[in-house]
Amino acid sequence: MANRVLLVAGLTIAAGVGRAAEPVTTVLIDDVPGLVSIAAPANGQTVYCLDGGSGGVIAVDPRAPETRRQALAATAAGPRPLAIACLDSSTLAAVCADGDAWSVRTWRVQPQRPADPAAPLQAVAVGTATERPATPPRLVVGRSREWLAIVGLPAPLPAVLRMPIAGARLGAASDRGCPRLAAGVLPVAATASPADELVIVTSDRRAGRPDGDPRSDLVTYHSTAGRPLLALDTGLRDVRAAGFGRDDGSLWVLAGDKTPGLWRLDAVFADGRQVIRGHQAARLTAPAGLVCLGDRTLAVLIGPPDQRLVRLDLGTTETTGP
């Protein structure tokens, strides 16, 4: 089994994992205290960062951070971006709230000047909700670039909605073919698998569970019809973000539990069934968001008090976790 690698439903099965050298960390942004969401196009050449304080979006080259620019101007009034995603290398999408009204808006982003938030390429109404979710919704773009999912919308909106993508245009939002989450089961992270499945990490916070219940967060793969294909216990609690390696299919998550940091989740077989074993790649204080720029290069958002955006260049192995 040593050094053997298989792929099952987009999850890497690996053996012979050892101890890693510390990742090389490069600070990309450390002077914008309000960063709340990050995104990158498929080529990984740009990282877009949403400033929750101004509502604007900053674009930074992860290999040359001194070249950063304003991609979307600050929002003085009107719909407020809460989370962002890249439809392609030049089209930025954001889920926005304007009072009780929710929408998804898109802009063409250009190197020459920031896009005007008041003049989107497209604005698609999602619905109305009076409350804000405990954590901002996530936007997920499928690997096929044929769908976008909004995960974590507040009630009475469905927790998950999908929108078809045609080029740089979005279709209407619908809960058809979307997974249904039980009340008290909260989506805490979401991403798209290499096989184009919607992958959601959930935390079970239903009432009536005893204090100290050790149940960890669950990762579930969903088909385009919304059917659960695979559900596995991550072995971690307080997962905050997830993403897949660009080519090798490795599933990376950020967790903020007793051992906060970046983890790779590998599938292993135990007692004849598939389970997950976590390998910690980096210890991080207050990890908040991630995007994969390559198989071993990630951009990671660190939360307060020492808020910053960093690039992590990882070694070839990780330390097996609990």
- Write the pLDDT tens digit of every residue in 125-134: 999 998 888 7
- What are the tokens at 278? 């976590």
Peptide bond into 210 cis (omega under 30): no
- Give 30: exposed, middle or buried? Use CB within 10 Å, 0-12, 13-18, 19+: middle
Structurally, the chain folds into a number of domains equal to 1
Residue 185 belongs to domain spanning:
1-30+179-313
Sign, CA torsion 49/288/132/123? positive
143 belongs to a structural domain: no
Looking from the CA of 249 toward its CB, the CA atoms found within 13 Å total 16
Looking from the CA of 138 toward its CB, the CA atoms found within 13 Å total 26
pLDDT band at 249 (very low <50, low <70, confident <90, very high): confident
- Give 141: exposed, middle or buried? Use CB within 10 Å, 0-12, 13-18, 19+: buried
Count the helix, strand and coil residues of the chain and give each as a percent rounded to the nearest 5. Answer: 0, 50, 50
Residue corresponding to tokens 């877009």:
48
Tell me which of 98-107, 167-176, 214-223 is least confident: 214-223
68 belongs to a structural domain: no
Q: Is the pLDDT assigned to residue 148 strictly greater than 90?
A: yes
Q: Is the pLDDT assigned to residue 218 strictly greater than 50?
A: yes
How confident is the model over 270-286, as pLDDT tens digits?
777 778 889 999 999 99
What is the C-alpha to C-alpha distance for residues 203 and 23, in angstroms, rounded to an integer? 28
What pLDDT does 48 receive?
98
Tell me which of 109-123, 131-145, 207-221, 233-247 is least confident: 207-221
What is the C-alpha to C-alpha distance for residues 149 and 197, in angstroms, rounded to an integer? 11
pLDDT band at 264 (very low <50, low <70, confident <90, very high): very high
Q: Is the pLDDT assigned to residue 304 strictly greater than 70?
A: yes
246 belongs to a structural domain: yes
Q: Is the pLDDT assigned to residue 209 strictly greater than 60?
A: no
3-state SS, residue 70: strand
288 belongs to a structural domain: yes
- Give 225: exposed, middle or buried? Use CB within 10 Å, 0-12, 13-18, 19+: exposed
What pLDDT does 2 receive?
31
279 belongs to a structural domain: yes
DSSP string, 159-180: SEEEEEEETTEE---B-TT---
262 contacts: CB under 8 Å, gap ≥ 6: 23, 252, 253, 254, 280, 281, 282, 284, 287, 290, 298, 300, 312
Mean pLDDT in residue range 149-175? 96
Mean pLDDT in residue range 50-70? 96
What is the C-alpha to C-alpha distance for residues 108 and 220, in angstroms, rounded to an integer? 33
Among 185, 187, 184, 277, residue whose Cα is nearest residue 241? 187
What pLDDT does 248 receive?
83
276 belongs to a structural domain: yes
71 belongs to a structural domain: no
218 C-beta neighbours (distance < 10 Å), count? 18
Looking from the CA of 255 toward its CB, the CA atoms found within 13 Å total 29
Please indicate, yes or no, whether the overall pTM of this predicted structure exceeds 0.85: yes
How confident is the model over 83-121, as pLDDT tens digits?
999 999 999 999 999 999 999 999 999 988 999 999 999
- What are the tokens at 203? 């935390």
Mean pLDDT in residue range 17-35? 81
Higher pLDDT, 215 or 216: 216
Sort residue 36 into left (φ over 0), alpha (ψ -120 to 50) or beta. Answer: alpha
210 belongs to a structural domain: yes
Q: What is the overall mean pLDDT for the chain?
A: 88
Among 272, 261, 240, residue whose Cα is nearest residue 25? 261
